[in-house]
Amino acid sequence: MPNFLFLLGMLLYSSSCLTLSLLLRQPIFSHTLRIAKLSIHITPPSIKFHDVHVTFPDKSIYPSTKIAFKGLELVPSIPTRQSPFYFTIILTSALLVSQLSTVSTTQLTTSLLLLPVLSHMSAGPPAQVTIEGFRLRIFSSTRTPHLVQRLRQALVSTLLFGEWLRCDDAAVQVTFGKDFVGRSENFDGPGADALGAPIGDSQARADADDDLTVTSTAANLHVHDRKGRIYAFRAVGACLRRTWGAFDGARGAYEMEAEGAQWRRFPPAVLGAAGLKTRNPWRCVFSCLCRMRCR
């Protein structure tokens, strides 16, 4: 309870400083909020914020964090049978820089659903999120953000203990360097250009001369986590580079590229009898009745 009150107080403090910064057009206790332009349209109704920049100081709810995006559009709508969305949020060219990581995306669209089960659009989550051009860079694996840790644990446990529904193609390649036995402590490690090379660039990986390189690829991968959620990838590839003799902090790098990634939650009736046993039977009956009524 004390932690919750502390976070609530920090949230109110940061919100107040950002509001004053926007009104006075100057930083307030190192909090900055700038909006270049505000557009309001009547037909169709929408509100759009242009070129938004947000800065948080070291001692705040988001320490040393900078957020910037070119556009934030709020679009209300009347839900229909074909489009049961009552509110849509569109975020364009977003960039978040913090002490732990850097996150960027070309466009993020969040559509809020009205009665998701009744409209056959979802098995419970009231929102549909589409992310384009998502990139995440973590500076150190020992300081991974909490949300990324949870996503990583869920994805790894699903791949290891989940049910593989489909995999059209998969390959794993292990490459050992010339000095796999070990290097001296004075080794400076591979250059930044080599570490940042794409997964498919085998020549750049060879130039990096790592002690060990593991590359894996898969196509049309669908995995069920046995909890009603399915992870789907049109194409996914990962590369792990390891150099044991390098100095601390540069012993290796991990990269992952995914195309057409989807995370969906399905009702138990779709996933089979195994899902029906783990769910509340009355909830399944209610879901079936809602579907029959819609038809």
Chain segment 15-35, per-residue pLDDT in tens: 999 999 999 999 999 899 999
How much is the pLDDT for 24? 92
Give the residue extent of every domain in the chain.
Answer: 1-139
How buried is 6 (Cβ within 10 angstroms: 0-12 exposed, 13-18 middle, 19+ buried)? exposed
| 37-41, 53-57, 106-110, 173-177, range with the lowest pLDDT | 173-177
For the chain, percent of residues with pLDDT exceeding 70: 73
248 band by pLDDT with thresholds 50, 70 and 90: low
Count Cβ neighbours within 10 Å for each residue of 39-77 and write b for 16 or more, e otherwise. Answer: eeeeeeebebbeebebbbbeebbbeebebbbebbbebeb
